[in-house]
């Protein structure tokens, strides 16, 4: 360990802070291992040519920041229990820094939503004008807590064959708000919540904010490991299971019909509820038939959340929620307490967009463009087979990639790619313990055409070869 610390010789400004900062970086980079004993105070003071008090102050600072544990009579030990959170923080800081220039400067494999280039602004503008001409100022006024009645009627008609009922549909401002208001309505401190491993980082944040106990269940190629889940259910009272039924974020995995039925049966037996985040199910490129958990839910155990933002326009925050009857009132109250109502104008515009058949045409166009990109990226990723492996999602907007070399960190890969103008999403943001995602990254083709995909993956390949 001293060979890393020797670099600190000769520092003069804020010595103990500088020493603590350097040791933190060594822990972050795993050059100092979790639980490894740090040098004795007197020895390190001698190496760095500082007094003992400086080292004591540095170790105290490390302990206060969660990087060390001091054991009386034994010494000071590195602590990595909380350290992996810093990867998420560092990633978020970099993304915020570059977000304003991302569209111009970078090849963006980090996008999660359909490209705005594929959306007809002129048609959308015409619909807005029609709505304003028809409804006047009513289109700009919040009127209905559940959402615009016409939109709820047409969601029921066109997406559910009139099987749900408009009174059971709640309009929300996107899937993230849907998860948030469901959590506020259902979950209390120390309730047990099951999530897929890995899973959507936004959901993890919501459950953490509610101070629930988050239990991760491994994913297989056809969905959650239900044998593993059942062992948990036999020993613990589970309040709800959060999952993405199609093209899961980040893995791209979809649930088999067999697992859907078994999980619904388990929900009834063990008395828990399923939060179904229907993620990008419009973009199916194989011959699989679309079947949501909610559509085969005979025991009213599914809370269904659907966002239009991913495949419509990301800036138009719209989605809807269908809840079991037992929670309908509490979820509606949670929505009202969150923001009273969602944009009335955009609800009416989306309603007309669906009713006049433009939605169907838009989805058809997306499938044509993205299936071509999907096949192209699949073939391009195969050229990196020496460095990576992946499963075929069969739809959606991304691939989840496993790094074959265990010594390559996805955060390091992210930084190296970013320096060469390519953005990827490191796997660390999809795990409760970010350390477990260091061997994975996600690449999306939503914002990139075919030549850009080829160029971006060529750069990623060159970064791997530099290792």
Q: How confident is the model at residue 112 (pLDDT cuts 50, 70, 90)?
A: confident
Instruction: Report the pLDDT value the prediction gives residue 80, as an integer from 0 to 100.
Output: 65
Instruction: Report the pLDDT value the prediction gives residue 21, as an integer from 0 to 100.
Output: 86
Higher per-residue confidence, 386 vs 115:
386
Q: In sequence order, what DSSP letters do the residues of 287-332 get, joined into one string?
A: SPPP--TGGG-SSS-EEEEEESTTTS-TTS--EEEE--GGGHHHHH
Instruction: Report the pLDDT value the prediction gives residue 83, as an integer from 0 to 100.
Output: 46
Instruction: Report the pLDDT value the prediction gives residue 99, as an integer from 0 to 100.
Output: 66
Percent of the chain with pLDDT over 90: 59
Q: How is residue 335 written in tokens?
A: 């929505």
Q: How confident is the model at residue 228 (pLDDT cuts 50, 70, 90)?
A: very high
> Is it the case that residue 344 has pLDDT exceeding 90?
no
DSSP at 10: T
In order of 128, 212, 248, 324, 337, the CA distances from 331 in angstroms are 30, 18, 24, 10, 10
Q: How confident is the model at residue 102 (pLDDT cuts 50, 70, 90)?
A: low
CA geometry: angle at 461 spanning 418 and 25, to 5°?
45
Higher per-residue confidence, 73 vs 367:
367
Instruction: Report the pLDDT value the prediction gives residue 305, as an integer from 0 to 100.
Output: 97
Rounded mean pLDDT, 378-403 = 95
pLDDT tens column, 180-205: 999 999 999 999 999 999 999 999 99
DSSP at 39: P
Q: Is 173 helix (H, G, I), strand (E, B) or coil?
A: coil
Instruction: Report the pLDDT value the prediction gives residue 82, as an integer from 0 to 100.
Output: 47
Rounded mean pLDDT, 24-51 = 86
Task: Look up the pTM and report it.
Answer: 0.80
In order of 94, 98, 213, the CA distances from 418 in angstroms are 9, 10, 35
Residue ranges of E strands in 309-421: 319-322, 388-390, 398-403
Rounded mean pLDDT of the chain? 88
Rounded mean pLDDT, 43-69 = 87
Q: How confident is the model at residue 85 (pLDDT cuts 50, 70, 90)?
A: low
pLDDT tens column, 317-328: 899 999 999 999
Instruction: Report the pLDDT value the prediction gives residue 12, as an integer from 0 to 100.
Output: 45
The residues near 248 (Cβ < 8 Å, ≥ 6 apart) are 196, 199, 219, 254, 279
Q: How is residue 20 written in tokens?
A: 């603590």
Burial class (CB in 10 A: 0-12, 13-18, 19+), 357: exposed
Phi, psi angles (nearest 5°) of residue 447: -110, 10
> Is it the case that residue 434 has pLDDT exceeding 90?
no
**Beta strand pairing status for 213-220 and 192-197?**
parallel
Instruction: Report the pLDDT value the prediction gives residue 144, as an integer from 0 to 100.
Output: 79
Q: How confident is the model at residue 379 (pLDDT cuts 50, 70, 90)?
A: very high
Q: How confident is the model at residue 466 (pLDDT cuts 50, 70, 90)?
A: confident
Rounded mean pLDDT, 332-360 = 86
Burial class (CB in 10 A: 0-12, 13-18, 19+), 14: exposed
CA 151 centroid distance within chain: 28
Phi, psi angles (nearest 5°) of residue 122: -65, -40
CA 163 centroid distance within chain: 31
Burial class (CB in 10 A: 0-12, 13-18, 19+), 406: exposed
DSSP at 141: S
Query: Which residue segments constitute the domains of the chain, with CATH numbers given?
Result: 2-78 (1.10.10.10), 85-112+360-466 (3.90.1150.10), 140-356 (3.40.640.10)
CA 112 centroid distance within chain: 9
> Is it the case that residue 412 has pLDDT exceeding 50?
yes
Instruction: Report the pLDDT value the prediction gives residue 9, as an integer from 0 to 100.
Output: 46
pLDDT tens column, 8-35: 444 444 688 889 888 888 887 778 887 8
pLDDT tens column, 163-178: 999 999 999 988 999 9
């Amino acid at each position: 360990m001293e060979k890393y610390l020797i670099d600190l010789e000769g520092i003069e400004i804020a010595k103990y802070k500088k020493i603590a900062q350097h040791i933190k970086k060594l822990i972050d980079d795993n050059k100092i291992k979790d639980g490894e004993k740090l040098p004795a105070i007197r020895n390190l003071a001698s190496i760095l040519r500082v007094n003992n008090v400086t080292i004591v102050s540095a170790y105290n600072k490390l302990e206060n920041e969660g990087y060390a544990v001091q054991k009386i009579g034994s010494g000071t030990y590195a602590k990595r229990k909380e350290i992996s959170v810093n990867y998420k923080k560092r990633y978020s800081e970099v993304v915020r820094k570059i977000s304003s220039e991302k569209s111009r400067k970078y090849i963006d494999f980090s996008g999660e939503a359909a490209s705005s280039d594929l959306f007809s602004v002129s048609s959308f503008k015409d619909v807005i004008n029609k709505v304003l001409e028809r409804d006047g100022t009513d289109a700009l006024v919040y009127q209905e807590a559940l959402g615009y009645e016409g939109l709820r009627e047409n969601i029921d008609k066109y997406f559910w064959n009139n099987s749900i009922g408009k009174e059971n549909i709640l309009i929300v401002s996107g899937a993230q708000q849907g998860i948030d208001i469901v959590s506020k309505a259902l979950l209390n401190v120390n309730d047990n919540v099951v999530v897929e491993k890995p899973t959507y980082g936004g959901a993890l944040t919501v459950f953490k904010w509610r101070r629930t106990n988050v239990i991760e269940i491994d994913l297989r190629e056809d969905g959650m490991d239900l044998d593993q889940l059942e062992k948990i259910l036999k020993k613990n009272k589970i309040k709800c299971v959060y999952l993405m039924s199609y093209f899961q974020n980040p893995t791209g995995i979809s649930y088999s019909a067999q697992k859907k039925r078994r999980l619904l049966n388990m929900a009834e037996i063990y008395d828990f509820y399923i939060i179904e985040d229907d993620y990008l199910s419009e973009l199916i490129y194989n011959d699989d038939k679309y079947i949501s958990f909610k559509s085969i839910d005979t025991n009213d155990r599914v809370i269904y959340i659907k966002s239009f933002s991913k495949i419509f326009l990301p800036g138009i925050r719209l989605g809807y929620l269908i809840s079991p009857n037992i929670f309908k009132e509490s979820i509606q109250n949670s929505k009202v307490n969150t923001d009273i109502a969602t944009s009335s104008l955009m609800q009416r515009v989306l309603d007309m967009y669906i009713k006049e058949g433009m939605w169907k045409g838009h989805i058809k166009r997306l499938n044509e463009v993205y299936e071509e990109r999907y096949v192209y990226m699949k073939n391009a990723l195969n050229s990196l087979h020496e460095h990576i492996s992946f499963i075929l999602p069969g739809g959606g907007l991304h691939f989840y990639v496993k790094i074959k070399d265990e010594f390559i960190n996805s955060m390091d890969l992210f930084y190296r790619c970013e320096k060469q103008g390519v953005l990827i999403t490191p796997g660390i943001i999809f795990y409760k313990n970010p350390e477990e995602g260091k061997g994975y990254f996600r690449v999306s083709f939503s914002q990139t055409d075919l030549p850009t995909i080829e160029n971006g993956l060529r750069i990623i390949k060159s970064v791997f070869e530099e290792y």
